[in-house]
Homo-oligomer: A and B are copies of this chain.
Amino acid sequence: MKAEIVAVGTELLMGETADTNSGWLASRFPQVGLELQYVTVVGDNLAQLTEVLGRAFQRSDFTFTCGGLGPTEDDLTRDAVAKVLGEEITTAPELLRWLEGVFRERRMEMPAANIKQAGIIPSATSLPNPMGTAPAWWVERGGHVIVTMPGPPRELQFMWEHQVEPRIRERVRGNIVLTRTFKTIGLSEAAVDEMVHHLYGSNSNPYLGIYAKPDGIYLRAIARAQGQRQAQEMLHPLEEGIQGALGRYIWGVDEDRPEEMVGRLLTERGLTLATIESCTGGLLAGTITDVPGSSRYFRGGIIAYSNDIKVAAGVDPTVIEKHGAVSQECAAAMAQAVCRHLGADCGLSVTGVAGPDSLEGVAPGNVFIGVAHPGGVEVLHQRYPPRRPLVKARAATMALLELVRVLKAGVGQK
Contact = CB atoms under 8 A, between A and B. Distances in A.
Q: Name the interface size band of chain A.
A: 35 or more
Given A290-B389, A303-B285, A37 B27 contact: no
A299 interface: yes
B282 A289 contact: yes
A41 interface: yes
B37 A48 contact: yes
Nearest to A27: B15
Interface stretch (A16-24, A74-82, A109-117): A16-24
A309 B313 CA distance: 12
A40 interface: yes
A22 B37 contact: no
A23 to B, nearest CB: 5
Nearest to A286: B282
A261 interface: no
Which of A14, A288, A308, A392 has the most chain B CB within a 10 Å cutoff? A14
A300 B301 contact: no
A390 B90 CA distance: 39
Nearest to A302: B302
B305 A299 contact: yes
A308 B275 contact: no
Interface in A30-51: 30, 36-43, 48
Interface string A316-341: 00000000000000000000000001
A308 to B, nearest CB: 7
A106 to B, nearest CB: 15
A309 B303 contact: no
A289 B302 contact: no
Given A286-B286, A305-B299, A356-B292, A23 B15 contact: yes
A355 B290 CA distance: 11
Interface in A350-380: 354-357
Contact of A282 (B16, B36, B283): B283
A36 B22 CA distance: 18
A265 interface: no
A343 interface: yes
A26 B39 contact: no
Which of A12, A282, A293 has the most chain B CB within a 10 Å cutoff? A282
Given A27-B15, A39-B13, A303 B282 contact: yes
B292 A281 contact: no
Contact of A288 (B39, B280, B281): B281
Interface in A231-253: none
A96 interface: no
A206 to B, nearest CB: 17
A7 to B, nearest CB: 8
A62 interface: no
14 contacts: A15-B24, A18-B23, A19-B22, A37-B42, A38-B48, A39-B41, A40-B41, A281-B294, A282-B303, A285-B303, A289-B303, A289-B305, A292-B356, A300-B305
Q: Which 3 A-B pairs have the closest CB atoms?
A: A281-B289, A15-B27, A282-B285
Interface of A: 12-16, 18-20, 22-30, 36-43, 48, 52, 275, 280-290, 292-295, 298-306, 308-309, 312, 341-343, 354-357, 388-389, 392
